[in-house]
């Protein structure tokens, strides 16, 4: 990001128009790199919705370059080490907002206690993206095709946010993700931590996606977590992405699986319930009908894999 300068003192960059033949660059903004959460929150309170927090930058930097985002100030959180951690706290796993996606992917704690998050991480972009991208940045960006919001909803994760004026509050995932790139964050709040409940015994997980190319955002994706006891399914969680303005939990399909035997017919029925009431958007990558078909296929695959994982010991 260049030399760290006091807020408001960054030189105004030269901006080239498209007509000049050069690529369009980001608009001018002030840049500051706080070294603590409190310093970052103070700056955010000062500038409100005129500022943007820079976490991994894998989504924000392209938006700046395309001028789809025009903040007056950019607050870089990469120098705030207190937001980088993965640790168990009683019955949940706490992950700091600035924890890199690659670190979560490689975490033994996450693999053991939040396996759905662990299997989802390799699906995020490419390795170089996961080396820079952060868990908190992805959650706050709230892309409706992103994996981390889907896992958060499937796991009933909580999102911890904080402001300098009102202190800290905890928001359920269902309430936090509100629509296209839209969350419950207030302009002066920063996402501090995600809390994932520790998985119960006998739980198997899977995350299935359909993409045009490796590393692309999913056209459709399906996350599943299934807990079995003996020859029956006790509980199931199903969340699909790429079909609405945010990840969608398919509760009717989950209810159909409760108490059922884990058979192909049961999975087909649940997959049909997950797909039939959806009206996904159509675009150049696929029609609404095609996406609904993908939901049915991917949910069935995810349920089959999750049950197999459960029966193998989770």
232-291, pLDDT tens digit by residue?
A: 999 999 999 999 999 999 999 999 999 999 999 999 999 999 999 999 999 988 999 999
Which residue's entry shows tokens 């995600």? 194
Which residue pairs, CB below 8 angstroms and at least 24 apart, start in 270-278? 270/236, 270/238, 270/299, 270/300, 270/303, 271/295, 271/296, 271/297, 271/299, 271/300, 271/303, 272/296, 274/222, 274/238, 274/240, 274/250, 274/299, 275/299, 277/252, 278/240, 278/243, 278/244, 278/248
Choice among 26-30, 166-170, 260-264 with the minimum mean pLDDT: 26-30
Q: Assess whether pLDDT exceeds 50 at residue 110.
A: yes
Computed over every residue of the chain, the mean pLDDT equals: 91
Residue whose C-alpha is closest to residue 116's, from 214, 253, 238: 238
In the chain, CATH 3.30.390.50 sits at 203-311
d(CA 233, CA 72): 52
In the chain, CATH 3.30.465.10 sits at 81-197
Task: Using alpha carbons only, give the angle 221, 149, 169 rounded to the nearest 5 degrees.
Answer: 165
What pLDDT, on the 0 to 100 scale, is given for residue 24? 63
The answer to whether 139 touches 148, Cβ cutoff 8 Å, is yes
Residue 10: pLDDT band by 50, 70, 90 thresholds? very low
Q: How many CB atoms lie within 10 A of CB 216?
A: 14
Residue 23: pLDDT band by 50, 70, 90 thresholds? low
In the chain, CATH 3.30.43.10 sits at 18-76
What pLDDT, on the 0 to 100 scale, is given for residue 42? 96
Q: How many CB atoms lie within 10 A of CB 251?
A: 13
pLDDT tens for residues 61-81?
Answer: 888 888 888 899 999 999 999
- Report CA 305 to chain centroid distance, whole Å: 22
Domain 203-311: which CATH number of 1.10.3720.10, 3.30.390.50, 3.30.300.30, 3.40.50.150: 3.30.390.50
d(CA 55, CA 25): 20
Could you say which architecture CATH assigns to the domain 81-197?
2-Layer Sandwich (3.30)
What pLDDT, on the 0 to 100 scale, is given for residue 18? 37
What pLDDT, on the 0 to 100 scale, is given for residue 285? 87
Could you say which architecture CATH assigns to the domain 18-76?
2-Layer Sandwich (3.30)
User: Considering the entire predicted model, what is its pTM?
Assistant: 0.89
R_g of the chain, CA atoms, integer Å: 21
């Amino acid at each position: 990001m260049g030399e760290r300068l006091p807020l408001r003192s960054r030189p105004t960059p030269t901006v080239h128009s498209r007509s000049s033949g050069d690529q369009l660059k980001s608009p001018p903004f002030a840049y500051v790199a706080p070294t603590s959460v409190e310093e970052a929150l103070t700056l955010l309170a000062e500038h409100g919705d005129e500022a943007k927090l820079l976490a991994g930058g894998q989504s924000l930097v392209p938006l700046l370059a395309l001028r789809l985002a025009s903040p007056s100030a950019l607050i870089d959180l990469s120098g705030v080490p207190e937001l980088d951690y993965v640790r168990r706290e009683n019955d949940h796993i706490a992950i700091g907002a600035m924890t890199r996606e690659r670190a979560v992917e490689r975490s033994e704690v996450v693999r053991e206690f939040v396996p759905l998050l662990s299997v989802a991480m390799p699906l995020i972009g490419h390795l170089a993206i996961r080396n820079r991208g952060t868990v908190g940045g992805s959650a706050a960006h709230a892309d409706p095709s992103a994996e981390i919001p889907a896992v958060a909803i499937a796991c009933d994760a909580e999102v911890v946010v904080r402001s300098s004026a009102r202190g800290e509050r905890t928001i359920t995932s269902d309430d936090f993700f509100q629509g296209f790139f839209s969350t419950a964050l207030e302009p002066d709040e920063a996402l501090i931590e995600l809390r994932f409940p520790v998985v119960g015994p006998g739980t198997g997980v899977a995350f299935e996606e359909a993409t045009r190319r490796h590393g692309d955002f999913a056209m459709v994706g399906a996350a599943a977590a299934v807990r079995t006891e003996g020859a029956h399914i006790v509980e199931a969680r199903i969340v699909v992405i790429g079909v609405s303005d945010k990840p969608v939990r398919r509760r009717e399909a989950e209810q159909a699986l409760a108490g059922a035997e884990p058979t192909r017919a049961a999975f087909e029925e649940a997959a049909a319930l997950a797909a039939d009431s959806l009206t996904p958007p159509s675009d150049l990558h696929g029609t609404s009908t095609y996406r609904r078909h993908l939901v049915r296929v991917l949910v069935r695959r995810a349920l089959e894999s999750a049950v197999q994982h459960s029966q193998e010991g989770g």
